[in-house]
């Protein structure tokens, strides 16, 4: 993996392209939103929308992952100018951390001060069930414990805005969502794209992890370096398998019914997309 260095030329070119294509009344965005797997329907909340395909933006990559549309959409939610990434880039697609986080740095250069990240994640916590929206209050970066180049600057905790989380929980109350709709927890970042083995899941759980996924943390670190306030939400799309059912003739086997697929992740994302959208819209209106 390439060493994570910012490409200032690409960043400047992307900034110039956005300013060329986007009306001045939609700049700067108050909030930037990154939509995770199956959650691109968040874009339907944006009015006066102007979309730019990633292919037209210097430094932007086209996501190869199903459920990611590869569009950058500017517009308004209520009275607030916003920008939304309908689909993100992942390091498991072969990209460097610098490439994955270039959009976040673009948002900062545009003058955006708030970032809302969403992702689909597996639950390690038996009390956090599928369909729950988890407000991330801390993270565990497994790649950070290896030689994987995750950051090249000092990032001082806390990384996740307490103020934005308060807006989130107040919004959930105002929307009269059931108490089990929303939780708080620690997100474990793994590089992916494979799902965790039972042993890996138990290890992450023992380290204090509540949910696990293959994105978000690089974007959080870049946003905090840029001085942005961050709200990160995980939609629990599956329960991580923590046991394969014991030994048969001394060998451990995986029961096929325990295997989760990306299509199931997308289905859960679509099923709960309206709830996530309502929460994100309410938080933006509260900022």
Q: Which residues are annotated as a binding site for phosphate?
A: 37, 68, 88-90, 120, 215
Whether omega before 28 lies within 30 degrees of 0, making that bond cis, reads yes
Which long-range contacts (C-beta less than 8 Å, at least 24 apart) are formed by 254-259? 254/198, 259/195
Tokens found for residue 114? 């708030």
Q: Are 231 and 160 in contact (CB under 8 A)?
A: yes
CA distances from 286 to 30, 66, 80, 282 (A): 11, 32, 10, 6
Q: Where are the beta strands (DSSP E) in the chain?
A: 31-35, 47-53, 71-77, 80-86, 114-123, 133-141, 182-189, 211-213, 229-239, 247-248, 251-252
Q: Given CA atoms 259, 245, 210, 208 in this order, what sign does their dihedral have?
A: negative
Q: Are 196 and 212 in contact (CB under 8 A)?
A: yes
CA distances from 248 to 28, 241, 254, 258 (A): 60, 18, 11, 17
Binding-site residues, in ranges, read 37, 68, 88-90, 120, 196, 215, 238
Binding-site residues for a purine D-ribonucleoside, in ranges, read 196, 238
Residue carrying the six token digits 């629990």:
236
CA distance 91 to 109: 23
Q: What angle do CA 192, 211, 229 make, to 5 degrees?
A: 95
């Amino acid at each position: 993996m390439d060493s994570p260095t910012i490409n200032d030329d690409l960043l400047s070119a992307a900034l110039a392209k956005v300013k060329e294509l986007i009306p001045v009344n939609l700049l700067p965005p108050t909030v930037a939103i990154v939509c995770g797997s199956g959650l691109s329907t968040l874009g339907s909340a944006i009015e006066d929308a102007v979309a730019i395909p990633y292919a037209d933006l210097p430094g932007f990559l086209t996501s190869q992952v199903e459920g990611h549309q590869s569009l950058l959409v500017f517009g308004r939610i209520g009275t607030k100018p916003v920008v939304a990434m309908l689909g993100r880039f992942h390091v498991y697609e072969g990209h460097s951390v610098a490439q994955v986080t270039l959009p976040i740095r673009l948002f900062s250069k545009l003058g955006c001060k708030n970032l809302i990240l969403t992702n689909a994640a597996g639950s390690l916590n038996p009390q956090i069930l599928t369909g729950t929206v988890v407000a991330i209050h801390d993270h565990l970066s497994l790649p950070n414990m290896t030689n994987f180049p995750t950051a090249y600057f000092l990032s001082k905790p806390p990384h996740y805005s307490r103020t934005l989380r308060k807006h989130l929980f107040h919004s959930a109350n105002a929307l009269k969502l059931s108490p089990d709709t929303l939780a708080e927890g620690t997100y474990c970042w793994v590089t992916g794209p494979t799902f965790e083995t039972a042993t890996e899941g138990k290890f992450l759980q023992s380290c204090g992890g509540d949910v696990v996924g293959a994105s978000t943390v690089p974007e959080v670190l870049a946003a905090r370096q840029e001085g942005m306030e961050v709200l990160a939400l995980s939609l629990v799309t599956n329960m991580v398998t923590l046991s394969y059912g014991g030994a048969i003739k001394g060998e451990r086997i995986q029961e096929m019914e325990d295997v989760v697929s990306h299509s199931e992740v997308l289905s859960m994302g679509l099923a709960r997309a309206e709830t996530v959208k309502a929460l994100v819209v309410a938080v933006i209106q509260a900022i």
